[in-house]
Amino acid sequence: MNEGTGIRDVVREKYGAAALRVKSGGSSCCGAAAALDNCCDPITSNLYTDGQTTQLPEEAVLASLGCGNPTALAELLPGETVLDLGSGGGIDVLLSARRVGPTGKAYGLDMTDEMLALAERNKQSAGATNVEFLKGEIEHIPLPDNSFDVIISNCVINLSADKDRVLREAFRVLKPGGRLAVSDVVTTGPMLPEIRESVLMWVGCVAGALEETEYRNKLAVAGFENIGVEPTRVYRIEDARTFLSGQGIDVDAIAPQVDGKFMSAFIRAVKPQVKAPCCAPGCCS
């Protein structure tokens, strides 16, 4: 078993259990918060406005496990086609579907059966007709080249063991001029080995986080331009205490060292337009 397969299996199991908790009337909760049975973790809470959540099925809101609100920042337009990488219970797909309207379409891609079943139920409850959920891995997107105007993702890319591949795949399926609009956890300095090594923390949306410069470099290598990383929440010691608790980690030793080094960020980038073909002698010089 390679590292990627091992991590994917742990992630799938964790989010499958989270989806089942929502189905049985509980809240999904991410990583450390779920282990603690404490749903007030600072990463996933209070991401959406009341205006957004009141129009959604309750289970879609309860299943929210993101770390931002990418559809609020993505500037989606009527008629656009959107793909959400790691769509979970479907909250951002349903919000996108409303923004792109009946002439547009929103797709969600997820590898976890229980999450896909929950997302389907939420689609039915919302009465959404311009929505489709697909099973697959974000490292191998089962969709054609150049087919989306916008790719969104909410706290998922940090979970992948092969982020280069995810970004290459996102670039491939975007149309020329298409936008990437991602919420993710990002670090602002080298990460402590104790944290990176913990698969549990990885599943808790933290240890797989890229350093900001690394994220920008990987996006550029994948071919993106106009890359931006904007902090949306910066985590302090007290936040770190919450998500490190219960992980078998010496919280007192580590918490002071992570103060201000983790943030939720909005990451944007654009797939370049195809250059116009040469039309006159000398125009390519």
Binding site for ligand SAM (CB under 6 A): 8, 11, 15, 30, 64-66, 86-89, 91-92, 110-112, 115, 137-139, 154-156, 159-160, 205
Of the two residues 100 and 157, which places its CB atom closer to ligand SAM in the complex?
Answer: 157
What burial letters (b/e) apply to 44-67, b meaning 16+ CB within 10 Å? beebbeeebbeebbebbbbbbbbb
What is the nearest approach in angstroms of ligand SAM to the Cβ of residue 225? 25
Q: How many CB atoms lie within 10 A of CB 135?
A: 12
> How far is it, in rounded angstroms, from Cα 92 to Cα 85?
10
Closer to ligand SAM at the Cβ: 83 or 226? 83
- Please choose, from the candidates 110, 56, 121, 72, the residue with its C-alpha nearest in 3D space to the C-alpha of residue 88: 110
Q: Which is nearer to ligand SAM, 66 or 104 (CB)?
A: 66
Tell me whether residue 160 or residue 242 sits nearer to ligand SAM (CB atom).
160
Toward ligand SAM, which CB reaches closer, 91 or 201?
A: 91
Question: Cα–Cα distance between 215 and 213 in angstroms, integer?
Answer: 5
Q: How far is CA 282 from the centre of its chain?
A: 45
- Residue 172 or 259: which CB sits closer to ligand SAM? 172
* Single-letter residue type at 146: N
Considering the complex, what minimum distance in angstroms separates the CB of residue 260 from ligand SAM? 23
Please state the separation of Cα 209 from the chain's center in Å. 11
139 or 280, CB closer to ligand SAM?
Answer: 139
The CB-of-201 to ligand SAM minimum distance in angstroms stands at 13
Q: State the minimum distance, in angstroms, from the CB of residue 144 to ligand SAM.
A: 18
State the nearest-atom distance from the C-beta of 274 to ligand SAM, in Å. Answer: 28
User: Rounded distance, CA 75 to CA 150, Å?
Assistant: 10
Please name the residues in contact with 247: beta carbons below 8 A apart, sequence gap of 6 or more: 32, 35, 198, 200, 201, 204
For the purposes of burial, counting CB atoms within 10 Å of the CB of 256, is it exposed (0-12), middle (13-18) or buried (19 or more)?
Answer: exposed
Give whichever of 165 and 236 is closer to ligand SAM, judged by the CB atom: 165
Distance CA(154)–CA(152), nearest Å, equals: 7
Q: Please report how close the Cβ of residue 85 comes to ligand SAM at its closest, in angstroms.
A: 7
Task: Give the nearest distance from C-beta 82 to ligand SAM in angstroms.
Answer: 13
Q: What is the 3-state secondary structure (H, E, C) of 103-168?
A: CCEEEEEECCHHHHHHHHHHHHHHCCCCEEEEECECCECCCCCCCEEEEEEECCHHHCCCHHHHHH
CB 130, min distance to ligand SAM, A: 19
